[in-house]
Each structure stands twice: as C-alpha cells, then as structure tokens.
A and B are shown apart, each in its own frame.
Chain A
C-alpha cells in the first residue's frame, strides 16, 4: 500500500491549441482533482467548461486514474464545451 502510493504516473493534457501541460499524479487520484488543477492553470473557474477525452472516450470526473486505466505517458485531450442551436422546420 505504502509502495503503491509512492508510485506516480505522468499524464499529459493537450489543449485544442496543442499546448501540453504535464501532470504527475497518484493512480488513486480522482480525475476531478486533475481537471480542477488544469482549469485553474488555464485561468478557468470551473472545470466543467472543459471536456476531457482519452482516445475519444469521455473521462468521468468521479473516477480515479486507475479506474480509467490511464497509463504513464498517456495524453488526454481537453476540449472546451460546445454549444449550438438548430432550426425548427417552419415550412
């Protein structure tokens, strides 16, 4: 247990402009903590403006690094949320 907690893995978070931030995390860290620290580095108050993906899969903020199966050196994509409308068909 003590040994496990000492083991850190490195994660990269890549923004849409290709800038990469590196994070050193514990496998039992909850993703939300990583997201929050990323957001504060990006001067965002709320981590929910970002969506985080690994290989196209959404990362849940409630899970831990281990639960999501993230390995050392994995690259996470951070994307800003998307909003949009449609058009009601008024023929």
Chain B
C-alpha cells in the first residue's frame, strides 16, 4: 500500500515529463521536412519508367566497354583454346540480346535486366569452365551496376516474394539465350534444367480453400506442382500439394485501383477419380487467393514461365466479366455491390465474421463496408475490424507483446456518457472495465493500444511499457529505451485535448492494476 502511495506521489512529476511527447512547433517543422523527403521519393518512383530502347543502348555500350577493358584476359584465354573466343563473344552478345528482349517483356524494371544478365552469364560460366574469366567479370560488373541502379532508383524494400520472383526469371532468360546464340543449345537441353527453375513463392493476404480461409499461408508454384502450406481456421497446420495435371483452370483478375490480384485456382480434387473438365465447378476444389503486390504482372509471368501447363490454363479476366457470379476475394460470403439495399431488408446481406471462431471476432456487414466511402464517418466496427485484421497478421510471439482494446474501452473507462462531475473518480471508472482485462496481464505487454472516439473524431492512445512503471527510475530516462509513457495520437491536433487530461487522471487505473499484479 505504501508502495502505491509513493507511486502516486511520483506521478505528477512524471506527467510533467510527458510533455516531451506533446506536439510542439519543433515537431511540426520536422514532420514537414520528412513529408517533403517522402514526396521526393514518390516522384522518383513514378518517374522511374525508362524507355527500353535507352536501356538497350546503354547495355550495348556497357557490354562493349567490358570487352574492350577486359581485353587482356580474353587474349589470355585465346591461346588456351581458340574456339572459345567465338563462344565468348557470343556470350557477351547474347547477354545484350537477352537484355534487349527481356526489356521488351518488362520494360519497367531496370534492376531486373541486370539480374537477368548476370543470370545468363552464370549459366554460361557453369557449362564452360575454361571461359570462366570473362563472364565472371561481367557478372561482377553487372551486379555492381544492378546494385547502384537499385540504390538510385528504387526506394522499395525487396521482400521474399520479390527475391524469388527475380530468381525465377532464370527460366525466361535461358530460353531467350537459346534463341540468341545457337552454339549453346546443349546447355539449354540439359535434362535437369527443370530442377534449376526456382519455384515462385507467393504469400497471399487471404486464401479461401474449401470452407475455410487463411491469412498466413504460403503458396508455392514450382515447375511440377502447386503446394499450399499454412494454418487454416482453427485447424492444425496444413500442407497440400497438387501436380500440374490437377490444374483445371486458373483465373486471374487484377484490380488496379487496389493493386491486388484475385486468383481462382480450379484443381481436381484428389478424392474424385473422374475428371470432370466440362463443368469447372463440379468435382473440383476451388482455391482462391488475394495478393496485394504492385508487381503482380511480373510474378504472373514468372509462374507462367515455369511450365507450359500454367500458361495453357491461365486466364486473365477482368472485373467486368459477365460470366463471373462472385468475387474470389469474398468467396461464397460474397457481398454483392450491385445488390440493392432496401431499408426494410437490412438483414438480407451476409455478414463476415473475422476472425472466425475467435471470441473477439468482429462481424462486419455491408452497411459497415459502405462507411469506407469518401466523406463518411467510420464506425466502431470498422475500427475494431481493422485492429483485428492487423492483429491477425502478426505472429504469435508478437501478438503477446501487444494488447488492443476495442473502441468502447475508453468510453467505458472515461465514462464519457455520465455526468462529468461524477465521473472524476478513477476508481469507479476502473471498476467499470475491470472485468474486461481479467485474463490479460497488461503489465507484461510492451504496448497497449486504446482507440478513442469523442465528438465524432477518432484518435489513438498508446501506453508504452507499462510494466516498467514499477521499476523505472527517472534518472534512467535518458539511458533506457523502455520509457513507460502514454502517447496520444490525434490527426486533428488539439481536438481531443481534454481527453489527455482524462487519461492522466486515470493513472489510478494503472496503479490499481499494478496493485493487483503485485
């Protein structure tokens, strides 16, 4: 009890120190300049499109330069084996042809070309060890160039998807090289070529498979099979694999406005022996996924290049396709946008419960989705849904570090609806919400998020490192990276100013909780 009181005594000074986290003119200046910086990035990214012809010219010069500057090693090899010289030139030439051809294929990505080029050279180097020297030079040069180019033009972080996507480009590259130089045929026709094709791995944001869905599954397209790994609903981790013969159709739809691809895979079910190719929907499993990736077209090309079968079965469809009855994104729980929402038939559309089976699940209806239109207010369901959505994307370990309250917690805690003169008693407010957190140890969390709604405006309160309150000493403030504090993030500065005081007044809520934990 004495402990609690001493903490109380310490609180006012702490609150005083928290003024560091308030907005000040200084902050605004910093934010402005950072905004400017970000804008320059944006512009750079947009202007990034170079003409493929320019690129070709550049690469030709580039290749030419290498052959002139690397003259010495060429001559060195020359007197070892005469015939190799010709082939060597071919490599360089083919390098540039590949570059030019692939630039026609994907004119927008510069760094791709470099990767392609270096890949070609690598394959050349593998098969003709005597010629290692020259290609190697161009590999390193090509890579350096690629890196430079990347650093200059592309402030994008390459993630796993991109990396594999680039790797898988080996396949188209090889084929093109084949056309470019005739004397390398034997390399192309090696039987184990298939194994060298790197599978394309996609991590869709959402997969619907049979009756369940998943947000954390991985889909691997390799040259012989499609593999699905992940956890579905409340079931155990799940793996399934289909050979290419099982593919009936692949429908791919690109929604440009949201940069998301919606793909339906019709696969032959393993149980049914009868191939029912006439009717796509019967006897087939439908696997649909949605993937947010601005570079989907490249991933798509990479998958198609893995095997001809992908290419044969691939249909690109548009959203306006009249043959489609539903959107793969919502699967059978479709929210039909065209559906006329009559005021009296408010129950005729289906709700989506997310995440299904979770006690904290939020059910979201068409009416809520409509609130996402411009110039409308967002309601609590949307806020809570989005919090659940973000939470669902985290892995288990991360989830343990955070706690998210729903959007009503603050209202209940601050007791905004009652007579303000009565609502000052923190203890009473704490009792209101005590049962909400009985199963959660709030002081074991790193961050606690509290959405706040007041006077038709949303803001967010973040309580950082509440656990440190017990042991934290103010002298350590500068050294420690875990400073217990409360941040209030409000997009309209000052609009929720009064509430900040409320939060500070509700510090007893945390003291009371500490008491319980101890």
Residues of A within 8 A of B (CB): 16-18, 46, 48, 51, 53, 55-58, 60, 62, 77, 79, 81-89, 91
Can you name the residue of chain A whose Cβ is closest to the Cβ of B409? A56
| Chain A neighbourhood of B378, CB < 8 A | 83-86
In whole Å, how far is A66's beta carbon from the nearest beta carbon of chain B? 15
**B407 and A56 within 8 A (CB):** no
Q: Closest 4 A-B residue pairs measured CB to CB?
A: A56-B436, A83-B377, A87-B491, A16-B417
| Chain B neighbourhood of A88, CB < 8 A | 491
What is the size, in residues, of chain B's interface with A at 8 Å between Cβ atoms? 39
A-B contact pairs, 22 of them (CB 8 A): A17-B418, A46-B346, A48-B346, A53-B408, A55-B436, A56-B406, A56-B433, A56-B436, A56-B437, A57-B359, A57-B360, A62-B351, A77-B408, A79-B408, A79-B411, A81-B379, A81-B380, A83-B379, A83-B456, A85-B457, A88-B491, A91-B35
Can you name the residue of chain A whose Cβ is closest to the Cβ of B452? A84
For residue B435, CB closer than 8 A to chain A, the reply is yes
The digit string for B372-396, where 1 denotes a CB below 8 A from any CB of A, is 0000011111001000000000000
Q: Given A58, A85, A91, which contacts B361 in the complex, CB threshold below 8 Å?
A: A58
**A51 and B32 within 8 A (CB):** no
The digit string for B409-422, where 1 denotes a CB below 8 A from any CB of A, is 10110000110000
Can you name the residue of chain A whose Cβ is closest to the Cβ of B456? A84
**Bound form: Cα–Cα A81–B382 in Å:** 11
Can you name the residue of chain B whose Cβ is closest to the Cβ of A68? B359
**A51 and B418 within 8 A (CB):** no
Can you name the residue of chain B whose Cβ is closest to the Cβ of A14? B432
CB under 8 Å from chain A, chain B span 321-370: 346, 351, 353, 359-363, 367
| Chain A neighbourhood of B381, CB < 8 A | 51, 81
**Bound form: Cα–Cα A82–B379 in Å:** 5
**Bound form: Cα–Cα A60–B352 in Å:** 11
| Chain A neighbourhood of B379, CB < 8 A | 81-84
In whole Å, how far is A71's beta carbon from the nearest beta carbon of chain B? 13
For residue B492, CB closer than 8 A to chain A, the reply is yes
The digit string for B31-68, where 1 denotes a CB below 8 A from any CB of A, is 11001000000000000000000000000000000000
**Bound form: Cα–Cα A83–B379 in Å:** 4
In whole Å, how far is B197's beta carbon from the nearest beta carbon of chain A? 45
**A18 and B411 within 8 A (CB):** no
**Bound form: Cα–Cα A55–B438 in Å:** 9
| Chain A neighbourhood of B492, CB < 8 A | 86-87
**Bound form: Cα–Cα A62–B363 in Å:** 10
| Chain A neighbourhood of B453, CB < 8 A | 82-84
**Bound form: Cα–Cα A91–B411 in Å:** 31
**A86 and B417 within 8 A (CB):** no
In whole Å, how far is B491's beta carbon from the nearest beta carbon of chain A? 4
**B346 and A84 within 8 A (CB):** no
**B380 and A51 within 8 A (CB):** yes
In whole Å, how far is A82's beta carbon from the nearest beta carbon of chain B? 4
**Bound form: Cα–Cα A88–B35 in Å:** 13
**Bound form: Cα–Cα A71–B44 in Å:** 61
With A17-B417, A84-B457 already in contact, the answer to whether A60 and B407 are too (CB < 8 A) is no
| Chain A neighbourhood of B408, CB < 8 A | 51, 53, 56, 77, 79, 82
**A82 and B380 within 8 A (CB):** yes
Q: Output the residue of A18, A58, A82, A87 with the most chain B CB within 10 A.
A: A82
For residue B509, CB closer than 8 A to chain A, the reply is no
For residue B458, CB closer than 8 A to chain A, the reply is yes
**Bound form: Cα–Cα A38–B346 in Å:** 18
**Bound form: Cα–Cα A18–B454 in Å:** 19
If A83-B378, A84-B457, A91-B32 are given as contacts, then 9 extra A-B residue pairs at C-beta distance below 8 Å, sorted by A number, are A16-B411, A51-B381, A55-B438, A82-B379, A82-B408, A82-B453, A84-B453, A86-B457, A86-B458
